[in-house]
Every structure is written in C-alpha cells, then in structure tokens.
Structure 1
Amino acid sequence: MVAPRLPPLYVLIGLSVLTLILYFRSSVSSNIPSFSINRQTPANSTLGFGGLFVVSGPGSPRRNNLIQSANVTELHFTIPTLPTWTEEQIKAFRGKDDKSTITNGSVRAWLSHNLVLNEFLKSGLETALILEDDVDWDIRLRTQQVPLAATAARALLPPAGEEYYWGHPDDWELFYVGHCGDYFTTMDEPVGVGVVHPNNLTELPHVVYPDQTLPRRTDLHPFTSSLLTAFDVPEKSRIVHRSVSPLCTFGYAVTRASARRLVEEYAPISGNRGNIDHAYDVAILTACRDKGLRCFTVNPELMHHMEGESLISNLDNKKWRPPVDKAGLKQTYWRGETSNIGCGFWSRDFSWDGDKDKLNHLREEVGRKGQCLKKDRLPNGDRVGESVLRASK
C-alpha cells in the first residue's frame, strides 16, 4: 500500500496561519481588521520598542537576577544611574506644607521613574519600555509572547508601516506590558465572576488571541482567572484592550510625546500637584482612566512583580501586602512561579552566575528554543502529569 503524500511544508504553514487568522477574526470586534501572524519570528532585543530602560536604584538586591535573566533571553537593557535620593529632595517633592501621606519609598520610586523617563527623552529614541528591576517574565517572552501581543496590538490600532512593531506611536501613548491587573473594578470590590460580564469587554476596543505559553486557567492568579472566566475568554488566550483601571508599573511602554506628558503633566515631581496621597502607578492609572491618556493593556500581563526583597519595602519597613499580592502568594509558592508566568526566572533554575558555558547553553535551550528545563516540568512548562490529566478529561 502506498502511503498518502503529505502536503508540502508551505501548505501546512499556510493552513496554520489561516487557522490563527480565523481565530483572531472571531474574537475581534467587526470594526477591527483581521491579520496574519508568524509565531516563529522572535522580537528584537528591545522587544520591538526603541529601547528597554530599567528603574533600578543604588544597591538594589534585584539587579543581578534581572541582568542574568536578560542575558538568557538576550534582551538589551539601558540602566540609567540613579542617585541616592536625599531627605531634602523628598521634602521638596512633598511640598512646603508637607501634608502628603505618600511614603518615602514611594517618593523615591516616583523620582526614579521621572529620571528614567527623562533619560529616554534625551536618547532620541521614538519609543521605550520602562521596566522596574523586580519583574519576572517567561522564557518565551521574546520568541513567542511578544510577537503575538504586538501582532494583536497592530490589529487593534490603525494600519501602520512594518517598521512600527507595536503600531504607529501617534496611535497609542502607553502600553501596559507588565502590571498587577487591569480588573475593570476598584480594588475594594471583587474583580471577576458575578461582578463583571462579557459586555464589559465587548464595549471596549479589544483583541482576544491564543497564547499557548499562558498557564492553564487554574494556575493563573485568582483575580486574573476569575476575570477571564467572567469574560468567557477561551483557555490559553490573552487580550489586548483599551485600559480601564490598570495597576502597577512593572513594565509600561511610552512614546516620546507621552513620556513628556508624564513628566510634565500627569506625574511631575514639582509644581502644583496638591497633597499627594498615592503612589506613582496610581498617578498613571488616573491619567489612563480619567484624563484621556490613550493606554492599552496586555491582559494577562507578560511581566509581573517577583516575590522577594525589595528596595522600596526595605526603605519603608513595609510588611503589609497589597490585596493583589496577598491573593496570589500561596499559589506563587505552590507553583514555584511568579503570578501568571508559565516558566520564569524567580526559581533561579536558570541562573548562570558568571559561567559563560552555562549561559550559552541556557541561551540556546531555554531562551531560543523555549525549553523549560526545570525539575518535574515538561519542556513546554507543564508540570509532569498535567498533560495526561488534561487529555483524559
């Protein structure tokens, strides 16, 4: 018996692309164009932005791990030198009457973000992704996750030239790539099932797209899982949508125009700002929600705050955890992974500590091929036994 001939490779690729197009088309509002995608083309070393700028203070305990992770995934960072902010500078930020309730650590973070944004403006680059140095990300961030998210973003925005990886900078002002949730409610309310409904999403410009690197629904942060379930979003899928109430500034992209608006208008460090009782990330949230800043969110996020020692919490002697962090803490330790990250760097499994041969091995197998080389894990990041369990259901 003659074996049936397999279709040529280009036919198989074409069918795969068509499947993705149909998926996206069925998940997007009718006024948003459909698009194709090549998931095999990694983003560049700055994730499609002009540069990656890191907010990292003097003596930060997080910087070494950040640099090691960036080397494995072959990302190129710029880490501007930050000063040790003085008490005089903190008092100047608070204002003459000093009635502000913002903590000293939060003031230092605000000043640091402002300095980094100004460094970006001096660089002449057109766009930048601003990262805090305590973020974690998946080993497939550059090879799979960002290409998918950026393609979805381009579908959501007006058509632009191929040189604009995330869409033309005139059509967006801020992209939340890393955050601790855009929950569609205030943080003193429940965030998902029974509180929000599918129409809360469909009313917004948005794109739902498949991403097989996303942890299964039961392994996502409880708030995230409940929100996606309430929206009837399929398993292993993310959304790019117009921002509603995005919290935390772990990783946010800006344009030259929006960076200038942040440092001069929405989150300045001097001038008539009133008595500040909120942190920098709340100032940005307010600009997105209430003041017309054109913000978009990748949801669930591609970068998330990593558990561990923090420079700001050390400065403020903070033991209290925000509700978002508290809700995901047990799951983080049980999974051995940062919230909403499938196979990340928090576990230190991919540390190389100066061993260049080990780094080269990790770059090839982990960073480029996306192999999750962790104990009791399959190459795709699933825990051993999970795939069999899902297949039997």
Structure 2
Amino acid sequence: MSALPARLTYILIGLLVSGVLLYASFRAPTPQEQDVLDFTDSFAPGQHRSQAGPAATAAAELDDESIARVQNETLGFQEIYMISLPLRTDKRDSFALQAAVSGMTYTQMDGVDGHSVPEKALPYTMNQSPNAVGCWRAHLDVIQKIVREKVSTALIFEDDADWDVSFKTQLVQFARGSRYILKTPAHDSPFSPYGDGWDMLWIGHCGTWVHPDDNGRFFVIPDDPTVEPPQLRRNVDTPDMSRWERGPNGDNQTRIVFSAEGGVCTAAYAISQQGARKALYHMSMEPYDSPIDWGFANLCKDKAYNFNCVSVFPQLVGVSRPTANTSKWSDIGYGDDANRGVESANAQHLVYSTRLNMANLLAGKTVFDSQYPDSTPPQLDIKDIGRAVGHIEVLDP
C-alpha cells in the first residue's frame, strides 16, 4: 500500500475529532445548567427600586453564563478549605458527610492550639487569649497557603459551619448580587463567577453592616424561605432591614447583598489572592492586636490597601450545634464548661439546615424539615426552598 491512503486516514480522523470538539463547544446547556442560566425573568421589578433605567442596565450586565460555575464542587472558587483541630474528629466527621451530600470537595486544614504559638511568632503588639491566638494563626496558615501556592480564590469554612439544603441555588443569587455590587462590566468573562475586584466575600458571620460609602445600592432577594425569622435572629450587628420588612408590602423573608463595612465571626468567607496578600500583611507583619474577624472587619471598614468586601444578610452559612453538652459546641470557649448542660441540636441563622436534615438527605428525600415549624413552613420541597430570585434596587439619596 502507498503512504497516501494512510495520510488521508489521519486527516479524516483529525477532521472528525475537530468536528466533535467544535460541536461540544457550542452544545446546548444540560437541563441542570439551563436551570442556572435561564435568567429571563430573574430581574423582576423591585418594589423599592427608584429608577428603572439604571436598574435595567445593571441587570443586563449580570447576564453571564459563567455564573453556572457556582454550582460546581468548589462552588466556583479554585479551592475550598476547612479548618479543624485534629482532636475534633467529631466535627471532621460531620463536615465530611455534610460536604459529600452537598456535592462539595475541600481540603482539610489543621486548627492551631494557641498555647503552641511562641511569643516571638506573634506581632509584638498582640495580647490575646491563647484561644484567640490559635484561631488567628489557623486562619493565617490557610491564608499563607493561598498566597504561597498562588490560589486565585478560596472559600474557607470553620468545622462547625452549616448551610441550608438549597445552598448552591442560594449562591447563584448571591453571585448575581455580588457582580452588581462590584460593578462587574457587562458581557465580560469575570475573574470569578462572583465578579471582579473583590477581596473578601463574607457569607458566614454573626453580624455584618453596610459600608457608608456605598449604602444606596443593594441586590434584594425577597420571599426567600431560607431567611431566618427576624424575632429569632441573634447577631452582633445588622443592616437596617426596615425598608424591606415594614409597611404594607413588608416581607420578613428578604435577604440583601451589599458592600460591607465589616462583620463578626468567620464561619465561612471567601478570599481572593489579592485579598489574602493584604490580610497576611495587615494581620501578621504590621502591629496587630485583635481576633481574626476584627482584623478582617478593620480591613473592610478602612478599605486599607483598597480592601473590597461584599456581604449578605441574613447570612448564607450558619453554625451547627449538635445535641450535646454545650461545652462541645465551641473550641474557643464561652464560660465555665463544668457548669454546662445538654441542649438539643440547632443550626444558628438557618431554616432548612443540611445537618439537621441529614437523615432526610441520606434517605434520598426531597422534602425537608424547618427547625422553626411554628414560624416557617414545617416542611418544604427542595424546589420551593430554593425558589427565591433577586433584583437590583438603587435607593434614593
């Protein structure tokens, strides 16, 4: 046989492979992706929107298919890390199962015993308790790893973090809101599904507040079944929700996304490479004497090194409290453990908690239980739990 037929065979094979790849690149979205990408009715007019023109323009800027990445195994971030003391195997067990049923993968990072951190390794101004020092160092170890390994974006959980069963659907709405707050340009391929230019996304906290320099722009998510009832919220500080919760059209199930002046507690937050570098400098190389969360809060408040924070209230990530003696709940400590008693399980800041619904999830059910049956629907299907859709609101000055 001559060499020509063989070459023709290779050419034909190459053309066939190229054709398949070209088809795949232009294929229609799968049904799951279509659920995420179909934003035709996503930006319904808001009751409190002051100007339809700018809001409609901003809405168009958010119509970007890359937002589907928030539903992958790392929630649209390059990495997910979970911090846990090696001795707390109970918390590691719980988090592993919770992440598995939620379709998430993560890297486990060891927590730090503050007594093991030598004084010479602390900022010379630091005078915190060993528990606060351990928490500070554990978070900085993760942040140092992000800087060292050039991780572009990472989501950091503490080991008692919990979230609603509709977490991935909630994150789609949060990502749309974050893009608006960050003024991510229309039709660009953003740095992250959550937008361009962010240093920190504070999604799990025990209090947060709006930055006064940008207090007129909000992404508002009404009629959200996962919003904790106002009378049950326990937070250090909160945004003023009266605009959305009072009046004839008041809605106690509203969540907002906004530019944040700060927050308290670090159940979950995302940080970018640029944000990690700024945080490592501020909390390790400069004079410093605060717990880790107040270090982040100060960066957000002062916009030191142009630190850019986006937050959400009520929070998307809460804290799991298993049925146990309450001394089991925290490794930081809140009082005399000897005087603690056994209390029933709860999930702070959540309604349809993943951990509280673990038996339902493992049984393959799609209807889940509220931990507040007296003030929220006792049971809801997953489609109804994740039904909320947000819109832009520009408030009059």
1:318 counterpart residue number: 334
Cα deviation 1:18-67 (Å, max 9, x = unaligned)? 54313359648775601477999971111111111111121124221111
Post-superposition Cα deviations, 1:117-157, rounded to whole Å, max 9, x if no partner, equal 12223444311111111111101101x21111111112222
Trace 1:237-252 onto structure 2 (pairs within 5 A).
237-252=254-269
The correspondence for 1:34, drawn from 56, 59, 64, is 59
Q: Indicate conservation of the 8 Å contact 2:201/2:311, yes or no.
A: yes
1:294 correspondence with 2:308: yes
Find the aligned partners of 2:229 and 2:49 in 1 and give their Cα distance. Answer: 18
User: 1:53-89, CA deviations, whole angstroms, 9 ceiling, x for partnerless residues?
Assistant: 11112112422111111111111111134565554x2
Task: List runs of 5+ in structure 2 lacking aligned partners.
Answer: 1-34, 246-250, 338-342, 383-397
Q: Which residue of 2 aligns with 1:391?
A: none
1:23 counterpart = 2:45: yes
Q: Counterpart in 2 of 1:306? A: 320
Offset, 1:162: 5.8
Q: Is 1:372 aligned to 2:378, yes or no? A: no
Could you tell me how far apart the structure 1 residues matched to 2:328 and 2:126 are? 21
Tell me the residue number matched to 1:253.
270
Q: 2:191 and 2:294 mapped to 1: Cα distance?
A: 32
Report the AA paired with residue 310 of structure 2. Answer: F
Is 2:206–2:234's contact at 8 Å kept on the other side of the alignment? no
Aligned residue among 275, 279, 282 for 1:266: 282
Instruction: Report whether the alignment pairs 1:236 with 2:253.
Output: yes
- Contact in 2 for aligned 1:131/1:250 (Cα 8 Å): yes
How far is the alpha carbon of 1:298 from its aligned partner?
Answer: 1.4
Total equivalences in the alignment: 317
Deviation at 1:346, TM superposition (A): 4.4
**Which of 338, 341, 348 is 2:350 aligned to?**
341
Q: Which amino acid aligns with 2:350?
A: I
What amino acid is aligned across from residue 379 of structure 1 in structure 2?
L
Higher strand share: 2
Q: Which residue does the alignment assign to 2:295?
A: 283
TM-score by length of 1: 0.68
Displacement of 1:206 in angstroms is 2.3
Distance 1:42 1:201, change over 3 A: same
AA in 1 matched with 2:277: R
- Pairing partner for 1:72 from 101, 114, 119: 101
| 2:173 aligned residue (145, 148, 153) | 148
Structure 1: where are the runs of 5+ without partners?
Answer: 1-12, 186-199, 322-331, 353-357, 382-393
Q: 1:121 to 1:26 in 2, by over 3 A?
A: same
Q: Tell me by how many angstroms 1:184 deviates.
A: 5.4
CA 1:261 to 1:215, structure 2 compared with 1: closer, same or farther past 3 Å? Answer: closer
Identify if the C-alpha distance between structure 1 residues 166 and 17 changes in structure 2 by more than 3 Å, giving closer, same or farther: closer
Q: Which residue of structure 1 aligns with residue 83 of structure 2?
A: 55
In the aligned structure 1, how far is the partner of 2:133 from the partner of 2:50?
40
For 1:210, the aligned partner's letter is P
Among the aligned pairs, what percent are the same residue? 18
Compute the TM-score of the two structures, normalised by the length of structure 2.
Answer: 0.67
SS at structure 2 position matched to 1:372: strand
- Match of 2:391? none
Kindly indicate whether residue 198 of structure 2 is the aligned counterpart of residue 172 of structure 1.
yes
AA matched with 2:358: F
Distance 1:201 1:342 in 2: 32
Output one character per residue of 1:307-364: Cα deviation in whole Å (capped at 9) or x when no partner: 35678954x653189xxxxxxxxxx96xx642331211343x4159xxxxx74x44xx
Partner amino acid, structure 2, of 1:256: Q
Query: What amino acid is the match of 1:319?
Result: G
The answer to whether the 8 Å contact 1:224/1:300 transfers is no
C-alpha displacement of 1:281: 0.5
- The amino acid of 1:114's aligned partner reads L
- Contact 1:105–1:313, Cα closer than 8 Å, also in 2: no
Secondary structure of 1:21's aligned partner: coil
State the distance in 2 between where 1:251 and 1:28 align: 33
Does the 8 Å contact 1:214/1:340 carry over to 2? Answer: no
Cα pair 1:221 1:340 within 8 Å, conserved: yes
2:351/2:370 contact within 8 Å kept: no
CA distance in 2 between partners of 1:69 and 1:28 (Å): 41
Taking the aligned partners of 1:164 and 1:128, their CA distance within structure 2 comes to: 11
- Provide the C-alpha distance between the structure 2 equivalents of 1:25 and 1:55, rounded to a whole number of angstroms: 41
Instruction: Give the Å deviation of 1:227.
Output: 4.6
Q: Which amino acid aligns with 2:224?
A: Q
Q: What is the CA distance between 1:103 and its match in structure 2?
A: 0.9
